[in-house]
Structure 1
Amino acid sequence: MDACSTTGSRILRPSTARTPCHPAAPMNRCTTRIASIPGTSTRRRRRLSSWRRRCSSIERQGHEEIMMKMRLSCFGFIKDLDDIAAAGYDCAELHVKEIMSFDDSGFAQALRKLRSCGIPAEVFNNPIPLDCRISDPSFNLGFYRGFLEKAADRCAEMGARYFVFGNGKARSLPVEGDIAGAASKFDEFFSMLLDIAAARNVTVLIEPLGKKLSNIVNSLPEAVAFINRFGKANLKTFVDYRYMVELGRPLSEIAEYEPWIKHVHLDNPLSEFPRRIVPRLDDGFDYGPFLEALKGIAYKGILSVEASVFEDFSREIAECLGFFKAYGIEPYRAPKGGAR
């Protein structure tokens, strides 16, 4: 990979090639044909066309690119907040499981830690335990109403705006037996979750997952159909790029379903799940088409690095900001103690 040189607010993009791992990726990430995307408004097409012309002009100048700011986030635990803030991220993404593990004293300490670290936490993932199954007869809706009330209260006090509902095992439906009854129970649970979240002005984001993890909602079109079925204002979706790659989903869906996309997860999609590692410039995958698709819709949500395996957490998350910079993306804030 070529070295990345920086001049002022412009950078020289690292050379990239179309990866065989994403056959849907366009060869030229700045010339995506957007006019033919169904459901795309005239205003949005004009905005994306303007960005395409801008990108084409930049590429004619030797791949020199103007930096774009995005809200960059990193997965972590309460103990990681200072490192995430010091690296220069705009915010952190936390786990409901950890927040619910605290007694009242521990929660008060976690809340003080968050408020003192200098960055917010607006997204909290997996509002119920990952090992439960909603359709199972042992899943008690009454118990989980109380659980969700407490989780929503705590997360809202910490500044939550979104619950990420991945929970692949929990939401999957049985393939035999009383499938209709299981689906009805899931709908009852999910409506309860939406109502509890709405009372705290928290939006639930249904995650399109790979088919190995969930047998419902595996793509953005399915997520939007799911949203329309429930018809609640506080239900939207988001993109985990790993699963777009896994299922070969076209990047044109990002523009097509832009009004419903409120969050993004990114890791190295070549790493074997559940091992998720930070994206790197030298990891053999071309992230350019995906990141250009986000730029093309002037994405204003949070772009969160979802990694679970580290050799050196603070070093790797700091280096990941360099990865984004090489693709023309930088956070809104600088790290504590000076510039990157």
Structure 2
Amino acid sequence: MQVKMQFGVCTGIENAETARTAGFAFIEPTVRSLHSGKDFTVIQAAYAAAGLPTPTFNVFVPGELKITGPAVDMAKLQAYVAESLGRVKSVGGELVVFGSGGARNIPDGFDRDTAWQQLIDFLQMVAVEADKTGISITIEPLNRKESNVINSVAEGVALAQAVARPSIRVLADLYHMQEENEALATVVENAPWLAHVHVADSGRLAPGTGSYPYPEFFGHLKSTGYAGRIAVECKWQDFEEEAGAAVAFLRKTWDNVENGEL
């Protein structure tokens, strides 16, 4: 059975109308946007009026809330996670991306095995809170320029396996995979763990403007029966001007792969 892929974009709700006009099916805002300091009922009303659904969220944990190292405060982390996931759920969120390089980066000189256990402990706590809301968490591998831990899909899967909770899954980001020269076939090898995908193009610019191997990448995803969503996370030169072409490129490439035309 063919999967009608949903393409979305990582942006704030202030860009929802532009995203909808361009053809995106959803937007992926930040969890931090739900902690803007405004009365939360005002934030909820803004999300309700946005015009596009917000099933996925990123920028989960602020950099000042450390997950690894000697300054971890699990009680503070748990309070933040519980409040955040409740807010995500209340505005229609179903999945939260755990990238949060600033929070998870291992301090210089800190024991890596201890830090790895801290990541496991954190995600096991997150899973308990996520299970209360039905939200899934996806571990996002980041390239080594952005994080010194969890730099590949395989490493993300190893962490998810260690956590061993159904709500903890893994994300594949084409940009980070290309930066790390990670084999595209890793999405096939780790397909059972894959719950979300991010894409960009060369230089982290808009899809269709560079040389990333989209047909091959989409072919691997399609071969696994991937039924999650795909969100663009890139640096836009002009969102309003570029968005429509990016959606059209993604849709055409996916459809061509689906129809065996590439």
| Same fold flag (TM > 0.5) | yes
Matched with 2:193 is 260
2:125 to 175, 182, 192: 192
Q: How has the CA–CA distance of structure 1 residues 207 and 248 changed in structure 2, closer, same or farther, with 3 Å as cutoff?
A: same
Shift of 1:78: 2.0
1:298 aligned onto 2:231: no
Matched with 1:277 is 205
Taking every aligned residue pair, what percent have the same amino acid on both sides? Answer: 26
**Other structure's SS at 1:322 match:** helix
Report the Cα distance in structure 2 between the residues aligned to 1:220 and 1:181, rounded to whole angstroms: 21
The letter for the 1-side match of 2:175 is R
Paired residues for 1:26-175 under 5 Å = 69-104=4-39, 107-175=40-108
Q: Cα deviations across residues 59-111 of structure 1 (Å, max 9, x unaligned)?
A: xxxxxxxx97311111111211122122221111010111111422xx32332
Is this contact kept in 2: 1:145–1:192, CA < 8 A?
yes
Is this contact kept in 2: 1:69–1:329, CA < 8 A?
no
Report the Cα distance in structure 1 between the residues aligned to 2:172 and 2:31, rounded to whole angstroms: 19
**Other structure's SS at 2:133 match:** coil
- Larger relative contact order (Cα-Cα within 8 Å, sequence gap ≥ 6): 1
Q: How has the CA–CA distance of structure 1 residues 250 and 183 changed in structure 2, closer, same or farther, with 3 Å as cutoff?
A: closer
Shift of 1:233: 1.0
Is there any run of 5+ residues in structure 1 with no aligned partner, and where?
1-46, 48-66, 331-340
Shift of 1:277: 2.1
Going by fraction, where is helix more abundant, 1 or 2? 2
Is there any run of 5+ residues in structure 2 with no aligned partner, and where?
257-262
The letter for the 1-side match of 2:106 is L
Is this contact kept in 1: 2:143–2:180, CA < 8 A?
yes
Q: Which has the larger radius of gyration?
A: 1
Q: Cα deviations across residues 41-64 of structure 1 (Å, max 9, x unaligned)?
A: xxxxxx9xxxxxxxxxxxxxxxxx
Paired residues for 1:180-219 under 5 Å = 180-219=113-152
- With structure 2 as the length reference, what TM-score do the two structures score? 0.87
- Once the two structures are overlaid, the 10-residue window that deviates more, 318-327 or 170-179, is 170-179
Report the Cα distance in structure 2 between the residues aligned to 1:101 and 1:288, rounded to whole angstroms: 39
Superposition CA RMSD, Å:
2.4
Is this contact kept in 1: 2:69–2:106, CA < 8 A?
no
Shift of 1:183: 4.1
Matched with 2:215 is 288
Q: How has the CA–CA distance of structure 1 residues 217 and 84 changed in structure 2, closer, same or farther, with 3 Å as cutoff?
A: same
Q: How many residues align?
A: 256
**Other structure's SS at 1:114 match:** helix
Report the Cα distance in structure 1 between the residues aligned to 2:3 and 2:89, rounded to whole angstroms: 30
Shift of 1:328: 4.0
Report the Cα distance in structure 2 between the residues aligned to 1:111 and 1:314, rounded to whole angstroms: 25
Report the Cα distance in structure 1 between the residues aligned to 2:105 and 2:254, rounded to whole angstroms: 38
